[in-house]
Structure 1
Amino acid sequence: MCLRPLEVDDVPVLVGWAADDTFRSRAGWSRGPGPELSAFWHGQVATPARDLLRLGVVHAGDLVGYVDLHGRDAHERELGYLIGPSDRWGAGLGTAAAEAGLAYAFDVLAFRAVWAESDDPVSLRILRRLGLTETEPRNATDGFAFRRLRIERPAWAAWCGRDSQQPGDPLS
């Protein structure tokens, strides 16, 4: 698995994921495949938002998802990840994508911390498995569905079994 910038040639793949009703529903995509979604993705690839680094997740030569590092803080960002379509779920790609995103954030971009939010039990398990811990515990009666988890560089280095907290090359 590797991360790379999204390219215009990826747009048909991204748009194609929207034909999967299960994927579209769980990902929160309101648009099905078509010219409107294609135009949206062309814009996202050609003119990315300044506060969003989106990298394609490539596995066995195919674009299988993307990882987002979102925010303006120079020292920490929000992690997001998505695998599509839904027939790829359950094969470990989400865990691998999230791990690659964390490695990129800490080892390439040298962030101090990364956080993520989710209300999905599977995503929460993935994030916890990768060493993120809940920062704002919620009880069942507060009506707040999303959980926020966070990891700092020393915890990431320990999770990876590294002695050093210095940036390196996570993709080698």
Structure 2
Amino acid sequence: MRPVLFADDRQFWFETLRILGHAAYGGSDIGEVLTTAEAITSGDYDSWHDAWRATADRVAAQAEDSLAAGHRVSARDGMLRAATYYSTAEFFLHGNPDAPDDPRINDAYERGAACFATAAGLYRPVWAGWPPSTAGTTRCPSTGPGSPARSTAAAWCCAPTGSMWSARSWTTSRPFPASITTGSL
């Protein structure tokens, strides 16, 4: 596919295309992605972080306002998009050998994880056992803070050792298996 944005930077185009793909599942909004991409200087990782961080902060604030006004679905959808945008903001910061402990990485990670947890708590049916306890969990080595392969969802959704998360329908008390996937787990 010929790049529509970032014609001179395949990395930035690929990541933008990946984020556009989240729109089909509510993890991004095409208008928000295009508006953010326009604010980014091609090849400038700080510009990438700053633009996505600003979008994530704005969308999270709007979602918080929606939640305060009792608009649970708008809040949930906004929090899910904000989680994606925080993860996107930190993406290119991982490869900088001059700043391996860049505080922006963990800050964006923590904010994204909090947004994802808030979104998860607003889904119906309720996800049983949400939020997950960290006791007895198995984390893939690629999902810890500071890992380039980690996604917000993977950090929050690794099941307790030997079990599987389940959801409960509002029409029955019987749990059923649930799979939570967002982005590249």
TM-score for both structures, normalised by structure 1: 0.31
More helix per residue: 2
More strand per residue: 1
Higher Rg: 2
TM-score for both structures, normalised by structure 2: 0.30
